[in-house]
Chains A and B, each alone.
Chain A
Amino acid sequence: MTSIKLKLKESEVQKLKEVAQSFNNEAGELINVLHKAQEIFGYLPAEVQEVVAEELNIPVAKVYGVVTFYSFFTMLPRGRYPISICTGTACYVRGAEKILDEFKRILKVPVGETTPDGKFSITCLRCVGACGLAPLVTIGDKTYGRVTTDGVKDILKEYENED
């Protein structure tokens, strides 16, 4: 059996340890620490979860249990431009699924995965509380409201010249 161990950046690991410390290394802060960890690394590979387990003194199986329970956490690297399609009730009834299908069709990746060039990833999220703008899509920090199927390619066009 081969062991492929991801080498984490020492500076990022250090940052994660500081985050854990800022939460007093308390086991009860697991979700908060994971949120910050995902901000630092972009995703939560096994190696990051092991650091979190060590810092909060809890079994890594428990950390993995929480990471796999919440759809917000991801163990796969996200794209530089993470696309989130809201599939909450309001967005859903206003055609979120068709929007999602259009993103999948154009980018040729399924939900939860990243394009081979690492540029885009697609995830679904549940209700951001802006139901008036349904159906809603976020890319990074940017929000797009009342998206139509035809509008998807225009949105992606905005990122054409970005790397």
Chain B
Amino acid sequence: MELIKLTIDNRTVEVEKGTTVYHAAKKLDITIPTLCYMNLKDLNIEHKPGGCRICVVEVEGRRNLAPACATECMEGMVVKTHSVRVLNARRTVLELIISDHPFDCLVCAKSGKCDLQDMAVKLGVRDIPFKGEKSTYKPDFSPSIIRDMDKCIMCRRCETMCNDFQTVGVLSGIHRGFEAVVAPAFERDLDHSECTYCGQCVAVCPTAALTEVDHTNQLINDLSNPDKTVVVQTAPAVRAALGEEFGMEPGTLVTGKMVAALRQLGFHFVFDTDFAADLTIMEEGTELLERLTKHLNGDKDVKLPILTSCCPGWVNFFEYYYPDMMDIPSTARSPQQMFGAIAKTYFAEKQKINRKDMVVVSIMPCVAKKYECTREEFATDGSPDVDYSISTRELANLIKQANIDFNTLPDEDFDKPLGESTGAAVIFANTGGVIEAAARTAYEIHTGKTLDKVDFEALRGFEAIRSATVDFNGVDIKIGIAHGLGNARKLLDDVKAGKSEFHAIEIMACPGGCIGGGGQPLHHGDSSILKARAKAIYEEDKGKKLRKSHENPDIIKLYEEFLGKPGSDLAHKLLHTHYFSRKDKQVLLD
């Protein structure tokens, strides 16, 4: 390891060869402002296109200013990060960027959370001297994501997430000069591209060029309609992140406050997607055991590994890229959809509520869930099981709009029966959580024994691809886990090539699983926030009285009173699904 000495703002610093000026400055606690740079170090993603030119610094002996994020340190280098020349250049660059940006901050979806706005404040921009042409692109509305490219500053972070991390490859920089923009191939809209709606582009966009479809106004209308019974379900990952929107430390659990806020907002029943996650384990776990038993008994036709199917981004991904392998994923619907199906049948009948008078809303860390709600197979006579989904961010905005002081709310409990859940359901939020929950139940059902220790530590962690072997009473069950679709692709290619040794594979589209979902509070490139959320989720699991899905009393009751047993005909009708090749959906020319 070769060390290099350089001077930054009259202070000496020693760094490893290959370090950029940006990181060397960071060592001295100097944070050079940037717009395009992004470093998600826990995910091994460093995006440094040197495109925005906000991070320029003065290097003694060089004629031009240098972008700190893309300039390597040299021995004896003398760098100035805030000379008058630097500050003037930085402001001019920002003014030029803003000169081709709409001035609608007051009504912009990103206002208050926009990196460009923050930078304008930081650099004291008061006037834009450059008057000229402005970009006018047609906005692109998909079921989950809105693209408003007039607001794009060409940082190209979305491209890195879509191509390098997710390997979906929808977004690319196209054209050149003033016409340059990030778009799908042939400027198709997202709905006609291979987009999975994972929302990682939305999660990293510094402006409002990429935002989620906003359902809050629809929700306000439904809540104020006296003829409607509005039922809400909250995904496990929401409770570990919502607090961040109210100034709490990342990793603060706000389950009780969230329930209280939802009740104050006027929801008639505040339920938990965790209930449906327990239900998912009953159905998916049964399917896993069935396939596994057949396999162990020597059945050569049985399809293994079984793949989890909770994540709608992941489902979209395999429907597009692996249409010939659609018999491998579990047929179990996602918890969101299981919840909707049960709420509008079992629960509606119990409460004597007409299906058409019930509105089921989900609070999700995800934007792909919005698309999932609209899938035709999840509707009865045109009435969707889940009417619509709002993101963690949208919920936070609504709570603020309603003038509810979130931080001082008392802790309240979910309503029954669809609010009861176990620790196994809570951990669905984390990468590895679904398969751990499945292992807890499958182990006990398969072996007839009680687990000594419910924590399967081997399945936890943040590494991109993990594998573990779980001992099912003498039988080794091999489990694979991937988060991020690029990592999923590696496991899938092995399966396709017949090289996979796994019995079961869990896949989540987003980094860290749902806690890093596209609908969560923005992490602004700080991946330690994701780790804090994951930790909180495991704490919530630990604190639960019941930690195995099959012990959830209201799930047991649901089977006794309504469904019969896991995998029954009714369970199949309401809780399972089938997949479609999305390759055919693509339309070449509009």
Please report A residues at the B interface, Cβ cutoff 8 Å. 1, 3-5, 46-47, 49, 58-65, 68-69
Contact = CB atoms under 8 A, between A and B. Distances in A.
A1 B175 contact: no
Given A3-B588, A61-B183, A69-B174, 9 more contacts: A3-B587, A59-B169, A61-B193, A65-B173, A65-B174, A68-B174, A68-B175, A69-B175, A69-B176
A43 to B, nearest CB: 14
B172 A61 contact: yes
Contacts of B170: 59, 61
A1 B168 CA distance: 24
Interface of B: 163, 168-176, 183-186, 192-193, 587-590
Nearest to A53: B185
B587 A49 contact: no
A65 B172 contact: yes
B185 A60 contact: yes
Most buried by B among A4, A59, A63, A64: A59
A63 B589 CA distance: 17
Contacts of A68: 174-176
Contacts of A65: 172-174
A58 B174 CA distance: 15
B182 to A, nearest CB: 9
Q: Which 10 A-B pairs rank lowest in CB-CB distance, beginning with the nearest? A: A59-B169, A61-B172, A65-B172, A61-B185, A60-B185, A64-B185, A68-B174, A68-B175, A65-B174, A3-B587
Nearest to A65: B172
A145 B589 CA distance: 41
Nearest to A47: B588
Contacts of B590: 1
A61 B182 CA distance: 10
A64 B188 CA distance: 11
B588 A64 contact: no
A63 B406 CA distance: 49
A63 B174 CA distance: 9
A59 B168 CA distance: 8
A64 B186 contact: yes
A4 B172 contact: no
A5 B172 contact: no
A59 B184 CA distance: 10
A49 B188 CA distance: 14
A109 to B, nearest CB: 21
Contacts of A62: 163, 169, 172
A1 B174 CA distance: 24
B112 to A, nearest CB: 31
Nearest to B192: A1
A59 B163 contact: yes
Max chain B Cβ within 10 angstroms of own Cβ: one of A1, A5, A61 = A61
A62 B168 CA distance: 11
B588 A59 contact: no
Contacts of A69: 173-176
A105 to B, nearest CB: 26
Nearest to A67: B174
Contacts of B193: 61
Contacts of B587: 1, 3
B11 to A, nearest CB: 41
Contact of B169 (A1, A3, A61): A61
B533 to A, nearest CB: 30
A5 B185 contact: no
In this complex, which of A1, A4, A5, A68 has the most chain B Cβ atoms within 10 angstroms of its Cβ? A68
A26 B588 CA distance: 25
Contacts of A63: 185
A64 B174 contact: yes
Given A46-B186, A59-B163, A59-B185, A64 B172 contact: yes
A130 B589 CA distance: 40
